[in-house]
């Protein structure tokens, strides 16, 4: 996909841009099989990459689902990030990871393997 085409499809996240609205699509609820509403927004996170933010809500059964997915291509080489928590303020950050990343906290014997759901935020 060319840079010109990508730039037109993916806009920077901005609270000032009133034109940046999600696309709404009526779609089937996988819980009750009635119609619900899917909202999709293609956007670019500054200093990160292009993403697809989607949410589904069903007024019939109140089921909902929210996802953030990568819209960019998978890079050939991975990157390793190591973070050190020195005080409680260091925990006041959100970490966004792809489905292909593994998160490890060795001190807690905790691991979130790659290719799991991206429905959760890690702080």
| Whether residues 55 and 7 fall in one domain | yes
* Final residue of a structural domain among 36, 55, 72: 72
Q: 104 and 59 in one domain?
A: no
Low-confidence residues of the chain: pLDDT under 70: 1-19, 116-123
Work out how many domains the chain is built from and give that number: 2
45 and 102 share one domain: no
**Which residue pairs from 56-65 have beta carbons closer than 8 angstroms and sit at least 24 positions apart in sequence?**
56/27, 56/29, 58/29, 58/31, 58/32, 58/34, 60/29, 60/32, 60/34, 60/35, 60/36, 61/29, 61/31, 61/32, 61/34, 63/29, 63/30, 63/31, 63/32, 63/36, 65/119
Q: Are residues 57 and 108 in the same domain?
A: no
Domain of 22, CATH number, reads 2.20.25.420
Range of the domain at 39: 1-72
Residues 19 and 60 placed together within one structural domain of the fold? yes
Last residue of a domain, one of 72, 88, 104: 72
Asked if 102 and 113 touch (Cβ cutoff 8 Å), the reply is yes
The pLDDT value recorded for residue 8 is: 55
Together in a domain, 12 and 57: yes
In contact, 12 and 43? CB cutoff 8 Å: yes
């Amino acid at each position: 996909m060319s840079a010109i085409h990508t730039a037109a499809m993916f806009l920077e996240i901005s609270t000032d841009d009133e034109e940046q609205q999600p696309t709404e699509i009526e779609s089937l609820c996988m819980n009750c099989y009635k119609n619900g509403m899917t909202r999709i927004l293609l956007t670019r996170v500054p200093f990160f990459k292009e993403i697809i933010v989607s949410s589904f809500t069903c007024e019939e059964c109140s089921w909902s689902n929210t996802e953030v997915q990568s819209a960019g291509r998978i890079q050939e080489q991975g990157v390793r990030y190591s973070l050190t928590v020195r005080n409680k303020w260091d925990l006041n950050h959100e970490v966004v990871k792809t489905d292909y990343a593994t998160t490890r906290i060795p001190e807690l014997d905790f691991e979130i393997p790659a290719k799991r759901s991206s429905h959760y935020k890690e702080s």
